[in-house]
Homo-oligomer: A and B are copies of this chain.
């Protein structure tokens, strides 16, 4: 049998501790699958004394993860600290520079420094695996990086944030407000005390940026992503969506268009009968559309200690099966040096259907005026429904669903309608996404 593969783990929080437990509990089976033992030789965390449900006494302890990365007797450095800079960046750099393979679950780090780290890894001839960084336990990196070789991707989209999907699912199922569901999500540990990063779409954007690079062979450009969160989604939107045969999901979408690559994160109407519409609660899903394979959808747990640990262990096992010093394909599917600059399509040229919900004064002619503004901007309507608001105020709700049009046209039409003075509150615009 080959020499054991020696692992160093930096970060023993929920995920790190789960990885250590899985490596211990499944040692015999992993040896059978990989043809060699996998041994945790070194660890680093804030608190050396905490009970993590696994015996790590035979591993060398490091207070400083950078020291571990540089000096420990290891083949693979597993970074589970988190954060886009700071110690995570420092220790991953140190590990790669020292010629060690790296496994990380850190989406923020990769979204910001992924290309530079990949260049180092490829120069050093070591692996940089990061299955756990996108959609937790779902093997989307392996699928895009390996299984789809030769495919040209046209679109990749997904539910990449469990917190948002949990909130939207409960809002629909129980008729609760966004605020109530967020509070529950926080109570259950699905949302942070400061939930901004999740609910405003930043977390989804980090993951999407990595998928975009894998899909299109471009440099990662997380800062260029159009971003809209779910905090302004109301029961009125959810009910109207349901009546129209849609469900609202926060999607990250990256799409090849004539004017470049669209990268956007926003609440999205997907057909209720589509597969992705059935992805409930904290579950994640990714759909990939290519020229050869067609449409593929993967759904599963997007977070949680065990699911994330499963992806990390899969990455470690891939290294265990490979020969020392051997590189199993480039980090982002193509050599990092050959990743093309990201050519951004402007959001204004986005083409698609739109859902528009307007609350208007109950006056003669308002309905006609709205229809006129749509026509002025060449927006063809699939449906237009007007009904009285629930309260006995002198206002009505108008819900429009457009055929395919552009973001620019919709914005112009809605601005005109707003200027016309018909609206009693802020208009709501939600993009519709084709989904199988």
Q: Are A150 and B329 in contact (CB under 8 A)?
A: no
Task: Answer whether residue A369 sits at the interface, using C-beta atoms and an 8 A cutoff.
Answer: no
A274: chain B residues at CB < 8 Å are 278
Task: Answer whether residue A368 sits at the interface, using C-beta atoms and an 8 A cutoff.
Answer: no
Given contacts A150-B30, A326-B323, A328-B322, contact A300 B294 (CB under 8 A): yes
What is the size, in residues, of chain A's interface with B at 8 Å between Cβ atoms? 63
A277: chain B residues at CB < 8 Å are 278
Q: Are A328 and B321 in contact (CB under 8 A)?
A: yes
**Which one of A47-55, A197-205, A306-314, A380-388 is at the B interface?**
A306-314
Q: Are A296 and B138 in contact (CB under 8 A)?
A: yes
Q: Are A151 and B293 in contact (CB under 8 A)?
A: no
Task: Answer whether residue A292 sits at the interface, using C-beta atoms and an 8 A cutoff.
Answer: yes
A148 partner, pick from B306, B314, B334, beta carbons under 8 A = B314
Q: Report Cα–Cα, A321/B300, bound state, in Å.
A: 28
Q: Which residue of B lies closest to A281 (CB)?
A: B436
A338: chain B residues at CB < 8 Å are 32
A146 partner, pick from B142, B298, B304, beta carbons under 8 A = B142
A333: chain B residues at CB < 8 Å are 33
Q: Are A297 and B294 in contact (CB under 8 A)?
A: no
User: Which A112-165 residues have C-beta < 8 A from chain B?
Assistant: 131, 137-139, 142-143, 146-152
Q: Report Cα–Cα, A330/B328, bound state, in Å.
A: 16
Q: Report Cα–Cα, A277/B310, bound state, in Å.
A: 27
A147: chain B residues at CB < 8 Å are 131, 139, 142, 311, 314
Q: Which residue of B lies closest to A143 (CB)?
A: B139
A326: chain B residues at CB < 8 Å are 322-323, 326
Most central of A294, A301, A311 by chain B CB within 10 Å: A294
Task: Answer whether residue A423 sits at the interface, using C-beta atoms and an 8 A cutoff.
Answer: no
User: Which A282-326 residues have C-beta < 8 A from chain B?
Assistant: 290, 292-301, 304, 306-307, 309-311, 313-314, 316-318, 321-323, 326
Q: Are B318 and A146 in contact (CB under 8 A)?
A: yes
A335: chain B residues at CB < 8 Å are 32, 35
